[in-house]
Structure 1
Amino acid sequence: MKTHPYFKFLFLFAVLAVVSCSKKEDPFVEQGPALVLELKSDAGNGELEVVSIDQVVNFTVIGNDDQDYTSLANILVNDVEIEGSSYTFGELGNYQVKAIYDDVVSNVLTFEVLAETERALTVSVTKAMRNQTVTFGLLDNEGTDTSDEATFYVNNTAIEGNTYSSNNVGDFEVYAEYVVNNETYTSATKNFAVYIPKRKVVVEDYTGTWCGFCPAVALAIDELRAATEHVSIVAIHKTAASLPDPLDFPRIQELQDMFGVSNGFPKGQINRTVAWPDPYPSGQILSMAGADTDVAIAINSKLTGANLTVEVKVVYENGSTPGDKVVVYLLENGVVAPQANYFNETPGHPYEGLGNPIEDYVHNDALRNSLSDLFGDAIPSTPAFQEFKKNYTFTVPSNYVGENLSFVVMVVDQDNNAKNSQFASINEAKNFE
């Protein structure tokens, strides 16, 4: 009995898929929290602390496991290790202090030692939304705020008091003039910016390496990215009954059930809840991408060894809405695995002649894990312009390629519609925008 060529292909691709899968463990692995260190000082833990010359400052290092690591950690001042956990600031200037234990790096504390006639300018918000109030401070060499005695200049124009807001987007400079012993001095100049949040549309691609029509969505996504930077892409892989997918996301069925995504891939979803139907028209997404919105997201991640820490911040122009949640997805890029390709013999198609399967297909934006609850962590009532901040820790499994990891973070409403999103690479500090 002869075997139909189609079944020969299925058998060959199944073998390839199993071999590929054997090189990757299940990506959804429950891990203990990664270690996070917090450096504190008895002189304060603010954005900038002014200390006196020859002042001794004592430091402590506390882990997120509530253990004291002070005696175990190395403390560095301007990247030079010190003895013990105390430091004498013997010279004028700026200092940055951090702690390191077992390759885990703490937060950084900043100190400044000033001469009698010097003042340290502080800016409450370096990236402000339109109409958000920015407050300026001016610290003397004893750490006292003398802003009520100074005149502040924004873009070389004197302002009333020490606060400023603008409806205009742009970059700004600020400095202060002040008087000491009847002489006028000028502080250093600092920068801040005003922005209007732009909407990044979430596009989720329900896909599989076994799915011969799935490259069609990947091509549509490539076209989107060529047209706009205001899209956040998530590829959610599913294993077929007989054809394993090395990027299978084990909880994909929960997402399908919640959002009504049937089998018969590929399937595209916009902002989680809206179908993106074949032929995946870009206009449906581009009409929203980059539009002004009222919520912004910032992401700051740090991967040290297997320890991943992620800080997510959300700020609203008009305050949060009851039911808002934050979703934090961990993705992996650059994963090479065979991809079924039903366009191999389609004349004029971009994938014509590439083979079926495409042996060295590069898969990007693959959902590996949800650091938050799969459907989001609740955002408490948050007033306008006040930051909501949440930290996540994760021990990265050895089968993930750390340098290829990235994030998509969404703010969703009570009905799971994505209001805005942000994406960032690993070890990137992505500010509000």
Structure 2
Amino acid sequence: MKIYLKFLSLFVIIAIVSCSKKEDPFVASDPMLTLELKSDAGNGELEVLSLNDAVVFTVTGSDGEDYSEASNYYINDTPITGRTYTFSATGTYAVKAVYNDITSNILNFEVLAPTERALTIDFSRAMKNQTITFGLLDSNGDDTASEATFYVNGNVISGFTYNSANDGSFEVYAEYVVDNESFSTPVKNFSVYTPKRKVVVEDYTGTWCGFCPAVALAIDTVKAATNHISVVAIHETGSTLPDPMHFDDIEILKDEFGIGGLPQARLNRTQKWLDPYKKEDVLAMAGNETNLSIAIDSKMTGSNLTIDTKLMYANGSEAGDKLVVYLVESGIIYAQTNYFNNTSGHPLEGHGNPIPDFVHNDALRNSLSDIFGDAIANTSAYTEYKKQYSIEIPSEYNVDNLSVIVMVVNANNEAKNSQHAEVGENKQYE
């Protein structure tokens, strides 16, 4: 009877742990403090002012506290006294606030003389066939675009919108009339891009797995051929040999994607990449034109990492779309079992078994989203979808070697597109 009760108790404990792990694969850190800078002149991406306009700034923390008096303010990176500033010269100005080591968002101002106009572009980097709208603001902030003539690459356009079916860099300026006198704005630049597919390559591996280096070598070959891949190495501890990069929720992923014995590799989460792991299998998809683009902007503040993800669909989102955000680390030196040590002609012949100084790249450290993705709200075509994530980076991670992998998956967990960026990098749509 006692043996039965012990077995039953152990079963219950295992069941509880398993369920908890499945339902809560990642517990995020407490959100770090962020600052929102505002002004009484407005809070758009660009506010237009007249000469000698005075502006008052306020700062609110993400904790709801007012940091206006405790913050320091900078105009074009030059500190000012107090939180009121009079703009006494024409030109462009960038304003930020700093509290301790935390920096706010940036507010942009353009100070105009009575005959000057500020040319605005709603998307400085637009997707192919996306409509770009130009504005022309006077010193009162009124949009006078309907009264002006716009030129793109030197050619007159109809109205004040533009789209292109071709990639490229473009120049725009406007001509306008004030008191019967003609004026032109300075030229501004914008670009148009076609979204390209980045294939997700997931390597289920372990430092104890003697055949696993074959996949790592194949990934290196693909990396040398294209940048249109996002790599995630998902490590598992062996029955007797530990793996310091072990990902706690690997069993959940293995169950979902039918992963058996290692090595195993998947393309775009669900497609098997079979031995001998031909690069052509990946290159056939990498860089192909697609209708979804992803941008990443991440910042470190102390030990806290904030990741801003942005999505743009050419045709709008689909029911079941999800956003997956992973943190990976490269450059980890750890012994790797090598069954190819005595294989004649193999790249790893004679490297030892194990290889003592094997370099492990793209090791999955954390999933900031649910491991299968967070639901994406219904998003219409050419409308930006944004979501922010944050995490406190453990001290054992090498921040300089961390990267962010973002993928969008459909209802069947197939990756539709992905993006990767180093921590601290602002990766634009591409």
Note whether the superposition's TM-score is higher than 0.5.
yes
Amino acid at match of 1:307: N
Q: 1:148 aligns with which of 146, 149, 157?
A: 146
- 2:304 is aligned to 307
- 2:59 is aligned to 61
Q: 2:376 aligns with which of 373, 379, 391?
A: 379
Q: Deviations over 1:378-415 (max 9, x none)?
A: 11111100010111121111111112111110010011
Provide closer, same or farther for how the CA distance between residues 170 and 294 of structure 1 changes in structure 2, counting only shifts above 3 A: same
SS in 2 for 1:309: strand
Q: Deviations over 1:223-273 (max 9, x none)?
A: 1112221111111111112211111111111111111111x2111011111
Provide closer, same or farther for how the CA distance between residues 323 and 30 of structure 1 changes in structure 2, counting only shifts above 3 A: closer
- Whether 1:200 aligns to 2:198 is yes
- 1:189 is aligned to 187
Q: 2:177 aligns with which of 176, 179, 183?
A: 179
- 1:424 is aligned to 421
What is the 5 A alignment of 1:83-162? Answer: 83-162=81-160
- Whether 1:330 aligns to 2:327 is yes
- 2:409 is aligned to 412
Provide closer, same or farther for how the CA distance between residues 285 and 61 of structure 1 changes in structure 2, counting only shifts above 3 A: same
In the alignment, structure 2 segments of 5+ residues that lack a partner are 1-24
- 1:73 is aligned to 71
- 2:240 is aligned to 242
> Separation in 2 of the partners of 1:338 and 1:73?
49
Amino acid at match of 1:352: E
- Offset, 1:423: 0.7
In the alignment, structure 1 segments of 5+ residues that lack a partner are 1-26
Q: Deviations over 1:40-76 (max 9, x none)?
A: 1121111111112222212122222222222222221
Provide closer, same or farther for how the CA distance between residues 315 and 29 of structure 1 changes in structure 2, counting only shifts above 3 A: closer
SS in 2 for 1:397: coil
> Separation in 1 of the partners of 2:195 and 2:416?
11
Preserved CA contact (<8 Å) 1:200 1:232: yes
Higher relative contact order (CA 8 A, sep 6+): 1
| TM-score, structure 1 normalization | 0.91
Q: Deviations over 1:188-236 (max 9, x none)?
A: 1111111111111100001111211111001100111122211111111
Q: 1:356 aligns with which of 353, 359, 362?
A: 353
SS in 2 for 1:297: strand
Size of the alignment, in residue pairs?
Answer: 406
- 2:6 is aligned to none
SS in 2 for 1:257: helix
RMSD across aligned positions (CA): 1.4
> Separation in 2 of the partners of 1:38 and 1:371?
23
Preserved CA contact (<8 Å) 1:35 1:393: no
Preserved CA contact (<8 Å) 1:48 1:112: yes
- 1:12 is aligned to none
> Separation in 2 of the partners of 1:87 and 1:353?
69
- Offset, 1:181: 2.0
Amino acid at match of 1:96: A
| TM-score, structure 2 normalization | 0.92
- 2:17 is aligned to none
- Offset, 1:29: 6.9
> Separation in 1 of the partners of 2:338 and 2:404?
28
- How much identity, in percent, do the aligned residues show? 60
Provide closer, same or farther for how the CA distance between residues 321 and 65 of structure 1 changes in structure 2, counting only shifts above 3 A: same
SS in 2 for 1:225: helix
> Separation in 2 of the partners of 1:247 and 1:368?
7
Preserved CA contact (<8 Å) 2:26 2:369: no
Amino acid at match of 1:342: Y
- Whether 1:340 aligns to 2:331 is no
